[in-house]
């Protein structure tokens, strides 16, 4: 079946540090890949997405590249801010019409300190 594995947290960084959160997946074919962010007490917000191999998704300074050869979709940001403190989820939806079920990783909690 489909699965998503994220690096375990929590991750604590100083403001302006470089961020990498690793994500690998298992799926047949070419799934769509997503990063969602969840701020305390809130639902999930779509951060970025990629729908085919070598696509780069980007938003708010975050980016991730769909790597089919390594089945990875690592999240990166060059300079984190305190406001980036949240839980980040990597997710996939399988290929095929009607296949909209999202499979999530367990999430990585990021804390950014001033």
Partner 1 sequence: ETGVTQSPTHLIKTRGQQVTLRCSSQSGHNTVSWYQQALGQGPQFIFQYYREEENGRGNFPPRFSGLQFPNYSSELNVNALELDDSALYLCASSQQDREYGYTFGSGTRLTVV
CB 62 within 8 A of CB 48: yes
At closest approach, how far in Å is the CB of 59 from partner 1?
A: 11
At closest approach, how far in Å is the CB of 81 from partner 1?
A: 23
User: Which residues make Cβ contacts (< 8 Å) with residue 103, sequence separation at least 6?
Assistant: 2, 3, 4, 27, 91, 92, 93, 94
At closest approach, how far in Å is the CB of 49 from partner 1?
A: 5
Token readout for 94 is 């399988």
Q: Which residues between 39 and 78 bind partner 1 (CB under 8 A)?
A: 41-46, 49, 51
Pick the closest to residue 90 from 14, 20, 1, 12 (CA basis).
Answer: 20
Q: Which residues between 74 and 113 bind partner 1 (CB under 8 A)?
A: 89, 91, 93, 98-107
Contact residues: partner 1, CB under 8 A: 4, 32, 34, 36, 41-46, 49, 51, 89, 91, 93, 98-107
């Amino acid at each position: 079946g489909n699965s998503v594995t994220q690096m375990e947290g929590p991750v604590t960084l100083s403001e302006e540090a470089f961020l990498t959160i690793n994500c690998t997946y298992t799926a047949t074919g070419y799934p769509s890949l997503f990063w969602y962010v969840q701020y305390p007490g809130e639902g999930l917000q779509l951060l970025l997405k990629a729908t085919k191999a070598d696509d780069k998704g980007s938003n708010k300074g975050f980016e991730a590249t769909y790597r089919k050869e390594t089945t990875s979709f690592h999240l990166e940001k060059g300079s984190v801010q305190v406001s980036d403190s949240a839980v980040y989820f990597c997710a996939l939806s399988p290929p095929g019409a009607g296949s909209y079920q999202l499979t999530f990783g367990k999430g990585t909690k990021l804390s950014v300190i001033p």
